[in-house]
Structure 1
Amino acid sequence: MILIIKLLLLSFMGIGDGARILAPFFSPTPSHYMMTNAIIRELVKRGHEVTFITPFSLAKENLGPNYREILLHHYDSWEDVSAKMNTKSALDMIDLSGMTHMRLAQHIGIQSTDFALAHPEVQDLIYAKDKIGKFDLLLAAQFYNEGALMLGHLYQVPVITVAAFAYANYFSKIFGSINPLSYVPNTVTGRTDRMTLWERLENVVFSTAEDVLREVSYYLAQDAIIEKYFGKLLPEVPTVKQLERNISVLLINSYMPLTYPRPMALSMISVGGLHIQPPKALPANIKKFLDDAEFGAIYFSLGSQLRSADMLPEKIKMFLGVFGSLKQRVLWKFESDQLSNIPDNVRIEKWLPQSDILAHPNVRVFIAHGGLFGLQEAVYHAVPVIGMPFFFDQALNIKAGEAAGFAIGLDYRTISEDKLKSALNELLTNRKFKTNMDKASRIFRDRPLGAMDTAIYWINYVIEHRGAPHMVAAGVHLRWYQFYLLDVSLIILIVTVLPLLTLYAIYKRLKSLRCKKSFDKKTKSE
């Protein structure tokens, strides 16, 4: 029966002629495109025509005549952030507060949106004649590039957004759902869904601050960009908040058990891990290195934004010392050739096919920074994790791994030889971590439909049903005070308090009269 349902769903995904999809993605963050590029490739493969606006080209892949690319000049966000925060490398961002990370993400989003909309070919799209009927869907990023939503408004097409990270608390208002802050942690706090009183207070403060910041600063900045590029074209330019109401579906890069249960709108679809492909053959030298690892292997990578080569010399020396004392082999993504005294059991490479390496049966531990894509790959291939989070959602991801019992978190600032040895020993010798990871992997893989098929299904669904307005919650049209029932709360407060105040006033008046009568009697008697 399940097989029949899957076949029916898959057949629905391919109905009719291919759609024409405009996909503006402005983010300068390379890792986000692991999800985006996977979706673009699959859409083209299934017969859709895609116009992809991106700073990271897919032209070398020769995707065929259905693929058109507008290549943005790359906005160097790191140079911008480095100058703004006086940091030498991305590793230094570990010392920045959660609120600072939030503001930086917003700043990068504003700058990259401005940068992209100024591109000549994007300008051609903006000022093109006869826009109606040229596209069937706008597919855009749900990551601080809301100016891209204006293209959906111009071409009058349904909109789907893609979040390359897990749930963010600000999604709730955009999609008409409520986040109970008592157990739904804000991304930047790094908390779990089981918080103490003070952690819940912190969660409320951060989430409220984020909402206020978006209202009084961020939205206004994006609105100004929209006015700058579309004001001369339209008699009335919609605001970002008005544009967000037209989003039909959000594809979120998350899935159990790497996220905590929370209320979700029907239009919020979990497709975490859709970038993961069947393992490919490893390069011969890497394959031999792992095949010959008699006691297993450890894989160490800090992802695409953080560089192991930027670590302090004493940290690098400490890692090499610990690795050299192990009987396991260590494969380390290290972005420089300038590394000396490398132990015989350690191999360094500037680039490595991470998911394919994690799929190797001899890989027993993954030392990572806690980025969501890498953690999903580790869970998919059932490799326990040592996590050293640096910024944004990484602490939250590692906390989720610790809560599920398949990860150990370490602080890069205080990591020592003893702490690293202890964590490695736990993961290599304590069977419970592997058992928990196997369980997590089964949960992550067990779905009614694969992650990519789910994403494609909903993309086709929105196109087929002209935006699927029946999926959009009424909450998106409410004002903030209505959404949070502050108007109702005020009425209840008035109805409750006013009678009490009236009774108190009457009581005070009667008491005053009694005192006056008593005083008058006393005066007369004298």
Structure 2
Amino acid sequence: MYKKTISLLIFISTLIYCTENAKLLGIFHYPGKSQYMSGVALMKILAERGHDVTVVSPIGEKNAPENYRDVVLPEVFEAAKRFMKNYFEYKVHPYVQTYVIGTVSFSLLNCTLSHPKLQQLIKTEKFDLVILQQFYGDALTYIPYVLDIPYLFYSPMGASYITNPSIGNPTFPSYVPDLFLRYTTDMSFFQRLDNTIIFIINSFIRYFVILPYHDRIVKESFPNAPDIQVYNQRASIILLNGDVSINDPVPKVPGMIDIGGFHIKPPGSLPRDLEDIMNTARSGVIYFSMGSNLRSVDMPKHILASLMNVFSKLNQTILWKWENDELEGKPDNVVIRKWLPQNDILAHKKMKLFITHAGLHSIQETVYHGVPCLTIPVFIDQLSNAKRAVNAGYAELIYMEEITEERLSPLIEVLLNNNNYTAAAKKRSSIMRDRPLSPADTASFWVNYAIRHKGAEHLRVASVNLTWCQYLLLDIVAFIFLCFLGIFMVLRKLTISLIKFRNCKIKKKLE
């Protein structure tokens, strides 16, 4: 009986995951390390499920599955280098954030689309489905159009203004905060005003700056390409790197699928030295990492001094992802490594606190393992990620410019000693784990679904076919206004005529 059950489960799994062994093309143009790593993690999962995967990117993978092929465009990475500076010095007002990132994407997309490797690939090979990185990459939608095959998007973040226009999802500035603002869904009047202003600015920039420029980029590499409006909103499915455990509930059209946490694997065994350090940490371990894009070594010196002063007074062992071999003035209870297996560390029973930049993957991993965190957000979505974590009760927040020994020490103490933070983290962990399919299985299912249904056009909402004037009902508002204006003018004319007629009658009587 046991063997029959196992055979049945294997058969069902085969039906679910192995019915489509398709040729997939993934294009990930943005060279940000965290965005690239999450996209590659998705493509590796699909390769492991039997698909023949080709990935076009600026970086490339060393340990790829057998049926995973890299097409590396190093020139794109070189083009991005002039924008890659010390992110701790990144100071851009939210109102111009979309314009700044959008203009960075221009050179990256131009280099990607004009690259001989990509040009040769689409001329000589056939694919069943294209997966496009959805991060200021509208020009890439020409690739599936010219190949005449369906495509879907993968977004390295949850639903936001960046993702919504490409698939016709509504954005309500009244309670959906912009990705670059430090707000939650519960906004005051002036926060809603600020949110509405940035929504209007972003809409203007998208329709009158970014899309026209992307149209020009495509036509430079493909002179016979039609206008971008013909092909840039043909996707019906977008896989979102979000989850209800960490993201606010917002409207989503049927084709928006949350797969947040898909990159998280069961914890493995730690390297022997780290295992010994964690096991012998009598008061537990604090893990400190600023992620893959930010480097701790680039922090201002006065902030590093404050951190080390605070750490030196703690009883816990601190594991710090530090990108150099040495750290001057390092306290005895601090252990530095250039690289640390974050997921495996967070899963360890001695973990007490995670000090993080609030990058999306870090937030997902700390929630999955039920570890409270202190967030130090610096830029982009880290600000909103941190605010949501605080709002959910499993985190505290301090901005980089606010870090002093006097401000930092009480925050760490309350996170270590107040069990409410751990309880909130474990509650969120329970929510993340409570789902009918794992995030990886969900992603695999929907990719297969898109293949089976040729892009799943039946999921596409009608709003993608509307102009922005039609979508915002500006034509209807204008029509109603003109109708009322016409009625008003007619009534006004009638009233004037009646008054004149009455005055004439009175005048005749007086005569």
Taking structure 2 as the reference length, the TM-score comes to 0.93
Q: Which of 81, 84, 89 lines up with 2:86 in the alignment? A: 89
The 1-side partners of 2:501 and 2:274 are apart by 95
C-alpha contact (below 8 Å) 1:28/1:77 kept by paired residues: no
| Match status 1:110 vs 2:121 | no
For residue 75 of structure 1, what is the aligned residue in structure 2? Answer: 77
- Pair 1:497–1:313, CA change in 2 (3 A): same
Q: Measure, in 2, the Cα distance between the counterparts of 1:505 and 1:177.
A: 45
Q: What residue in structure 2 maps to residue 137 of structure 1?
A: 129
Q: Please, which moves more after superposition, 269-278 or 180-189? A: 180-189
User: Which AA in structure 2 matches 1:70?
Assistant: V
**2: CA distance between counterparts of 1:198 and 1:13?**
50
Say if 2:151 is the partner of 1:165.
no
Aligned-residue identity in percent: 32
1:166 touches 1:252 (CA, 8 Å); kept in 2? yes
For residues 415-468 of structure 1, give each alpha carbon's deviation from its aligned partner in whole angstroms, at most 9, with x where no partner exists. 211111111011111111111111111111111111010011000011011121
Q: Report Cα offsets for 1:213-244 as digits up to 9, x if no partner.
A: 0111111111111001111xx3xx13333322
CA distance, structure 1, for counterparts of residue 450 and residue 31 of structure 2 = 27
Q: What is the deviation of 1:190?
A: 2.4
Query: Normalising by structure 1, what TM-score?
Result: 0.90
User: Which residue of 1 is the match for residue 291 of structure 2?
Assistant: 303
Contact 2:20/2:448 (<8 A) preserved? no
Measure the CA separation in 2 of the matches of 1:467 and 1:79: 35
Alignment partner for residue 138 of structure 2, among 140, 146, 150? Answer: 146
Query: Aligned partners of 1:364, 1:512: CA distance in 2, in Å?
Result: 87
| Cα distance in 2 between the residues matched to 1:289 and 1:101 | 42
CA offset at residue 263 of structure 1?
Answer: 1.3
Q: Distance in 1 between matches of 2:499 and 2:374?
A: 71
User: Residues of 1 paired with 2:348 and 2:500: CA distance?
Assistant: 87
Shift of residue 278, structure 1, vs aligned partner: 0.8
Deviation of the 1:499 alpha carbon: 2.5
| 3-state secondary structure, aligned to 1:247 | coil
Does the 8 A contact of 1:12 with 1:457 survive in 2?
A: no
Q: Give 1:202 shift.
A: 1.0
Q: Indicate yes or no: 2:361 matched with 1:373.
A: yes
Q: Secondary structure at the match of 1:188?
A: coil
2:268 aligned counterpart, secondary structure: coil
CA apart distance, 1:514:
6.6
Q: Secondary structure of the equivalent of 2:245?
A: coil
Q: Residue 117 and residue 78 in structure 1: after superposition, are their counterparts in 2 closer, same or farther (change >3 A)?
A: closer
User: What amino acid is the match of 1:35?
Assistant: S
* Structure-2 separation of matches of 1:449 and 1:9: 14
Which position in structure 2 is the counterpart of 1:47?
Answer: 50
Give the alignment partner of residue 14 of structure 1, picking from 2, 13, 17. 17
In 2, the alpha carbon distance for the partners of 1:264 and 1:377 equals 24
Query: Where in structure 2 are there 5+ consecutive unaligned residues?
Result: 1-5
CA distance in 1, matches of 2:459, 2:10: 24
* Structure 1 residues 176-227: Cα deviation after superposition (integer angstroms, max 9, x where no partner): 2322221111111121111111111111111111111011111111111100
CA distance in 2, matches of 1:510, 1:330: 88
Is 2:28 the partner of 1:25?
A: yes
- Give the alignment partner of residue 442 of structure 1, picking from 420, 430, 439: 430
Matched, 1:475 2:463: yes
> What is the rounded CA distance, in whole Å, between the counterparts of 1:214 and 1:428 in structure 2?
44
Does the C-alpha gap of structure 1 residues 198 and 223 become closer, same or farther in structure 2, counting only changes over 3 Å? same
Q: Distance in 1 between matches of 2:144 and 2:476?
A: 35
* Secondary structure in 1 matching 2:54: strand
Q: How far apart are the structure 2 equivalents of 1:286 and 1:342?
A: 18
Distance 1:513 1:249, change over 3 A: same
CA 1:80/1:62 → structure 2, altered by over 3 Å: closer, same or farther? closer
The DSSP-based 3-state class of the residue aligned with 2:239 is strand
How far apart in 1 are the matches of 2:320 and 2:79?
A: 26
